[in-house]
Structure 1
Amino acid sequence: MVSSSSPSCNLRSLLERLLELRQQVVEGSQKYLAAWGCLTSPPAAIHNLARYLALRQQDLRSLQLELAAAGLSSLGRCESRVLESLDAVIAILAATQGLTHTAPSYEEFYAGDTALEQHAEALFGPPSPHRRARIMVTLPSEAAEQPELLLQLLERGMNVARINCAHDEPSVWEKMVAHLRQAEAQTQRRCKILLDLAGPKIRTGPVAMPPGKTKVYRGDRILLTAKVPEASADISCQVTCSLPEVLAHLQVGATVWIDDGKIGARVVRIEPAGVVLEVDKVAPQGKKLRAEKGLNFRKLPGSDR
């Protein structure tokens, strides 16, 4: 008779739990793929991401402790190979019970790592023989006027030159690229160029304040509008939104952060001209509201908008 606390029973229990976990991961990943609209032949990386998200929906802590105690992988580093990691452990446990389970080959197990290396080389160029990491340098505006700066950076090991397109303009970027190509010819070294495109940022536009008022304080109301604002005694401040389409998606109770969170407000009323906000978070001394400041929105819990 085999004791329920014997190693054999523990391994059998681990096997059953891992098989159940594998099924949960497979089923959960299908839901993600369906939501993303790529159920049919998804790329391997997308499929693995869906499996990883499904895996992280489970509480693995006790299972991981037991796997580690048995000298098996605790699945702590399976990000690039979720199903392969599960199958490798399941195959070992199955063998202890006289069963079989197909384990991934060496190539299959490390396919994600291989793809990552290939993509990294395509994006950042080949690695240096002296170090694993690539060096990416964000070029300052001076790089457009100082070709020697690019030469120095290249000689000191720069692998990727990043141009932040939120600053300067195309003519400046062209000069940076030209200077870099010139430095490449001089050093016989190749360097990738990364153009970092700024995404859309919703900002405040023109601001109208009542006479004598320069700041907003807790309890003040702001009309966030698509139209050019006009001073009003009823609402202490009016400000336009650079992307007025977003106003139609705001609901009463939603949170609006202005100027990198320096002003916090909530939507208290919807009007044809826009939404009325009430300031509930601001420094005691108040805060000036200016144009060209960022706007961030947080939807209501449970809302699909």
Structure 2
Amino acid sequence: MKINAEKIRELITQIDVIIVAIREEETDAESLLAAIHPVYHKSARNLIHYNAFRKFDLRSTQKKLQKLGVTRLARAEGHLMSSLLKTRFILYSLLGEQPPLIPKAMLSIKNGKRQLSKHTKELLGYRSKGRRVRIMVTQPTQAAHDYQMVYDLVQNGMNCARINCAHDNPEIWSKIIANVKKASKASGKKVKITMDLAGPKIRTGNITPGPKIRKYTPERDKIGNILSPALIVLVPEVMETSKPNTLAVGSDWLHKLALGDTFTFKDTRNKKRKLKVVHVGELEVQVHCYKTSYISTGTTIRCVNRELDDGIVGDLPAIEQSILLRTGDVLTITKPNVLGTTPVFDKDGNLIERPTIPCLLPEVFDRVKEGERILFDDGKIEGRIETIFPDHFEVRITRALEKGSKLKAEKGINFPTTDLGISGLTAKDKIDMEFIAKNADVVNFSFVNSKDDVEELLSELEKLDAINSLSIILKIETRYAFDNLVEILLAAMKVKYIGVMIARGDLAVETGWDTISKVQEEILALCGAAHVPVVWATQVLESFAKKGLPSRAEITDATASLKAECVMLNKGPYINDVLQLLNKLLSNMEQFHEKNEPMLPRMEKL
């Protein structure tokens, strides 16, 4: 191979410039490094090296190195100085020269990988046989009462059980943990318990309830013939858990009904409708309805085939209201103590009153500015803040579905360009921390935005005497958390052991769908430099978990989790099927990937 000595010397100079910059940044960070826990001393130093390294635009240098058949340093984050010095040595060797002496790197390539492996085992437990990537599974409420389901999760490859403190209560959490530990012991597999702090989630508040009414519609074919009548179930009382086709009619009247009884009633539109009894049970009576009917609380049901007192429909739950928003609409955001309202129109369809919806976090109103973006319901609806008043602000909708998008209560709100100045720990979080410190292995810290949030968490752990006994996973879910990730990691590295969760749902909304791929890669790289394990989270095989069938895109996405140390699954009725598939998928694909490095086994036919 013909050697262009001048170009090689240019490359050596470029690498020397980078090394000098890294050494200077390392010197500036000595006081910060002094506070790092001994477990992370080398890792923190390597993170500082990598952060300095990435302040250069390296693309031209990488292309030149590639042409020489030398490493492009694209996968060097875990052992940066060692890779730079080795590359420098090779370049001098191509010139037939000995490189000038430079202090040795503290961390070899081999030791860099060992650091990550060790930290992963300490944080997330032992890996499953044949699989490097651990699997974390969110536990549903059912896990408190269904031991067999939990046992199956452990048997099918769950390494970590996740409990979200935003749901249920300490009594339920205790039962879930007991079942996980029991199943873990029975299977001979150590399963780590991780618990999420709820954090200051920003959500829409309640909307004024709709009428207490239920609609029943028979199933018809394409030309309008009835295929099957609507089935209505008459019961003594409608409970919160009752199905939508139930009506309460009072126990005494219900027990007088007989098979074949026929009834008439007038629905809310004053249309005359009929019902026929088709089944009489001990606790319920089933009737058929042959035309679309709107039945409300207080509707009178009259028997026509025999003498019988009238039945009265009991109290029904109010219809949950939603606000239909189209591009160009204006939505008023109010403080939490005001119920939301749907828009009001006159008889000609002209808007009389704009819709309103409360935001459940009052601190927001002191921080927002005109012109800032706002997103609702995981980014499905987007707007821009137009006008601000003392007790509310107005939002012009800039993106919604063509036919309009519905906004309901309890939906997330994101302010991606607003510095809300909200602490990562709420009053509820601090109470929940007491339970977590006593019962869990890891706390998942939601809504971390800065090193100050980390310091607050460490202070709380110190009060609970849980420093270094309770591990920490930092949930990166905002653009501020991403921008501050290096200082967040260095603040957390004062204790052992830590990890990072890429909360891809909120993060995508905050940073933008066009940016999330880049953001994911950068988080993986920075955590790789710090030897901090990463949890790949949000919507992994979610449609499979909920509906029982994965999409092709979901399979590809699940495979991408091989870049991380752990993948998180959310709950769903088909979660054990999902776990079996993911376990097999990761085991099969790990021969082609070692973290973010492609591997090449011998090609074989299927």
How many angstroms apart in 1 are the aligned matches of 2:378 and 2:384?
Answer: 15
Please report how far the alpha carbon of residue 163 of structure 1 lies from its aligned counterpart in structure 2 after TM superposition.
Answer: 2.8
Please report how far the alpha carbon of residue 266 of structure 1 lies from its aligned counterpart in structure 2 after TM superposition.
Answer: 1.0
User: CA 1:194–1:26 in structure 2 vs 1: closer, same or farther (change >3 Å)?
Assistant: same
How big is the alpha-carbon RMSD for the aligned residues of Structure 1 and Structure 2? 3.4
| Structure 1 residue 144 corresponds to structure 2 residue 140 | no
* 2:185 equivalent in structure 1: 185
* 2:32 equivalent in structure 1: 38
Secondary structure of the 1:73 match is coil
* 1:75 equivalent in structure 2: 73
| Structure 1 residue 254 corresponds to structure 2 residue 251 | no
Secondary structure of the 1:298 match is coil
How many angstroms apart in 2 are the aligned matches of 1:46 and 1:125?
Answer: 22
How many angstroms apart in 1 are the aligned matches of 2:153 and 2:355?
Answer: 49
Higher mean C-alpha deviation, range 87-96 or range 102-111: 102-111
**Unpaired segments ≥5 residues, structure 2:** 210-321, 345-350, 419-479, 481-606
1:250 partner letter: V
1:187 partner letter: S
1:220 partner letter: D
**Residues 109-163 of structure 1 deviation map (CA, whole Å, 9 limit, x = unaligned):** 4333222111111122223454433343333433222222333333444332233
* 2:355 equivalent in structure 1: 237
* 1:21 equivalent in structure 2: 18
Which structure's CA Rg is the greater one?
Answer: 2
Secondary structure of the 1:215 match is strand
Q: TM-score, normalised by structure 2?
A: 0.43
Please report how far the alpha carbon of residue 50 of structure 1 lies from its aligned counterpart in structure 2 after TM superposition.
Answer: 3.5
Higher mean C-alpha deviation, range 103-112 or range 167-176: 103-112
Higher mean C-alpha deviation, range 115-124 or range 101-110: 101-110
Contact 2:206-2:358 at 8 Å conserved across structures: yes
User: CA 1:77–1:227 in structure 2 vs 1: closer, same or farther (change >3 Å)?
Assistant: closer
How many angstroms apart in 2 are the aligned matches of 1:180 and 1:191?
Answer: 7
| Structure 1 residue 57 corresponds to structure 2 residue 47 | no
Please report how far the alpha carbon of residue 86 of structure 1 lies from its aligned counterpart in structure 2 after TM superposition.
Answer: 1.3
User: CA 1:158–1:87 in structure 2 vs 1: closer, same or farther (change >3 Å)?
Assistant: same
* 2:86 equivalent in structure 1: 88
Contact 1:268-1:276 at 8 Å conserved across structures: yes
How many angstroms apart in 1 are the aligned matches of 2:370 and 2:353?
Answer: 17
User: CA 1:279–1:69 in structure 2 vs 1: closer, same or farther (change >3 Å)?
Assistant: closer
**Unpaired segments ≥5 residues, structure 1:** none
User: CA 1:102–1:266 in structure 2 vs 1: closer, same or farther (change >3 Å)?
Assistant: same
How many angstroms apart in 2 are the aligned matches of 1:41 and 1:167?
Answer: 36
Please report how far the alpha carbon of residue 65 of structure 1 lies from its aligned counterpart in structure 2 after TM superposition.
Answer: 2.4
User: CA 1:235–1:17 in structure 2 vs 1: closer, same or farther (change >3 Å)?
Assistant: farther
User: CA 1:30–1:259 in structure 2 vs 1: closer, same or farther (change >3 Å)?
Assistant: farther
How many angstroms apart in 2 are the aligned matches of 1:69 and 1:199?
Answer: 49
How many angstroms apart in 2 are the aligned matches of 1:73 and 1:214?
Answer: 56
Secondary structure of the 1:64 match is helix
| Structure 1 residue 154 corresponds to structure 2 residue 154 | yes
2:337 partner letter: V
How many angstroms apart in 2 are the aligned matches of 1:134 and 1:125?
Answer: 8
Please report how far the alpha carbon of residue 15 of structure 1 lies from its aligned counterpart in structure 2 after TM superposition.
Answer: 0.7
Of 2, 5, 8, 1:8 maps to 5
| Structure 1 residue 271 corresponds to structure 2 residue 269 | no
1:194 partner letter: T
Contact 1:15-1:90 at 8 Å conserved across structures: yes
* 1:217 equivalent in structure 2: 326
How many angstroms apart in 1 are the aligned matches of 2:48 and 2:353?
Answer: 48
How many residues are matched? 291
Secondary structure of the 1:206 match is coil
User: CA 1:217–1:122 in structure 2 vs 1: closer, same or farther (change >3 Å)?
Assistant: same
% same residue: 32
2:9 partner letter: R
Higher relative contact order (Cα pairs below 8 Å, separated by 6+ residues): 2
Please report how far the alpha carbon of residue 244 of structure 1 lies from its aligned counterpart in structure 2 after TM superposition.
Answer: 1.5
**Residues 176-200 of structure 1 deviation map (CA, whole Å, 9 limit, x = unaligned):** 2212222233333322222233333
User: CA 1:28–1:235 in structure 2 vs 1: closer, same or farther (change >3 Å)?
Assistant: farther
How many angstroms apart in 1 are the aligned matches of 2:387 and 2:187?
Answer: 63
